[in-house]
């Protein structure tokens, strides 16, 4: 029954994002490549294929975008460089890995800024009405890239061989993170010993004891089978995992205006439905992991511990002004204001 539900939701999402009639585009044929940092079937690759299908249908078959899943064109850092160089035209990456090229994106790595609920709705409001995404686009453009939206992929979970209930339990924990200076500083503030590492190396590092723990959304932990060598999954609920569908600036700016508008429209219109899709997927993946390994424990920290972690996270915010590159002050100010204004507009406390 759950598989039928997921299929039905995916069908509705594709239908939702394909409302434009065919033959909207009558220009020359366009072919492009899109590299995803996730494996086949996971969020980025699934929604990249939705995007490809939508643009093909919208253009009556004249815009063809080939999607390449994780590992087919290189590792997570490689594909961002390929997009910057224009070897691939699109990359679907996240706020951490792309920060090697655009350090301003690390604002999204700061913990305990987003509310604990309704993150897709907040991101949707920010994309449509906020000041942060336009400022972020200015920073991306200086590096030859253009961000098309900010996509919620669920919350980041810590998986570990030991239980974690308070910041004290993180002290000295060898913890794998994505490559981002801000993420490293965040988890240092929590007392952990963070180690950036590429996606494909994590399982063997956990298995051999090179690291004790790792941070990823649940769908990734299930797909990459990290749960096989872990005992606990702990939700701090301070860091939503955010993907950034990105396009090479030179390629994008040469596209007809109508095509550029449709590409942006697809991704922004997808923020909320994709958020519902991934919440359902993560819930199912949690059940799959529990079934595969009944001894696993999944836990969300209590309010007292969350308050402690939040206070620690806030000590790192000033470092973004140093690490975030040109315009970091304005970006951080816009980010904080956008999240606050979005919550007000949505009637959230």
- Domain boundaries in the chain? 2-154+242-280, 155-240+282-345
Segment-wise mean pLDDT, segments of 10 residues, the chain, 349 residues: 45 48 81 96 97 97 97 86 96 91 95 96 98 98 98 97 95 92 94 90 94 95 96 96 98 98 98 98 97 98 96 96 94 98 95
CATH of 155-240+282-345, one of 3.30.565.10, 3.40.190.170, 3.40.50.150, 1.20.120.1200: 3.40.190.170
280 phi and psi, to 5 degrees?
-65, -45
pLDDT of the residue at 23 = 66
> Hey, what CATH topology would domain 2-154+242-280 get?
D-Maltodextrin-Binding Protein; domain 2 (3.40.190)
**Same CATH fold, 155-240+282-345 and 2-154+242-280?**
yes
CA distances from 280 to 70, 119, 333 (A): 22, 15, 33
Q: Rounded CA gap, 3 and 62, in Å?
A: 33
Q: Rounded CA gap, 284 and 217, in Å?
A: 13
Q: What is the pTM of this model?
A: 0.91
């Amino acid at each position: 029954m759950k598989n039928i539900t997921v299929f039905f939701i995916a069908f509705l999402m594709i239908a939702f994002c394909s409302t434009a009639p065919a033959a909207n585009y009558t220009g020359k044929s366009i072919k492009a490549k899109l590299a995803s940092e996730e494996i086949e079937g996971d969020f980025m690759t699934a929604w990249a294929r939705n995007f490809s299908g939508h643009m093909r249908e919208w253009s009556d078959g004249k815009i063809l975008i080939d999607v390449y899943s994780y590992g087919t064109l290189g590792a997570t850092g490689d594909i961002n460089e390929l997009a910057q160089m224009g070897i691939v035209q699109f990359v679907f990456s996240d706020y951490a890995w792309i920060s090697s090229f655009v350090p301003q994106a690390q604002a999204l790595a700061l913990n305990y800024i987003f509310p604990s609920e309704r993150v897709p709705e907040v991101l949707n409001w920010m994309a449509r009405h906020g000041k942060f995404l336009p400022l972020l686009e200015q920073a991306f453009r200086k590096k030859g890239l253009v961000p098309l939206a900010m996509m919620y992929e669920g919350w980041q979970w810590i998986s570990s061989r030991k239980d974690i209930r308070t910041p004290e339990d993180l002290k000295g924990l060898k913890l794998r993170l994505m490559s981002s200076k801000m993420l490293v500083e965040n988890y240092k503030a929590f007392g952990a010993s963070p180690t950036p590492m590429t996606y494909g190396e994590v399982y063997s590092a956990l298995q051999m004891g090179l690291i004790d723990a790792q941070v990823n959304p649940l769908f990734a932990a299930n797909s990459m089978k990290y749960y096989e060598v872990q005992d606990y999954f702990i939700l701090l609920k301070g860091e939503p995992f955010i993907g950034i569908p990105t396009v090479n600036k030179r390629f994008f700016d040469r596209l007809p205006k109508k095509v550029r508008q449709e590409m942006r429209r697809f991704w922004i219109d997808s923020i909320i439905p994709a958020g519902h899709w991934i919440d359902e997927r993560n819930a199912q993946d949690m059940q799959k992991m529990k079934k595969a390994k009944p001894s696993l424990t999944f836990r969300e920290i209590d309010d007292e511990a969350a308050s402690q972690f939040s206070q620690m996270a806030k000590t790192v915010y000033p470092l973004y002004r140093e690490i975030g590159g040109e315009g970091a002050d304005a970006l951080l100010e816009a980010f904080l204001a956008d999240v606050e204004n979005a919550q007000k507009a949505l009637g959230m406390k």
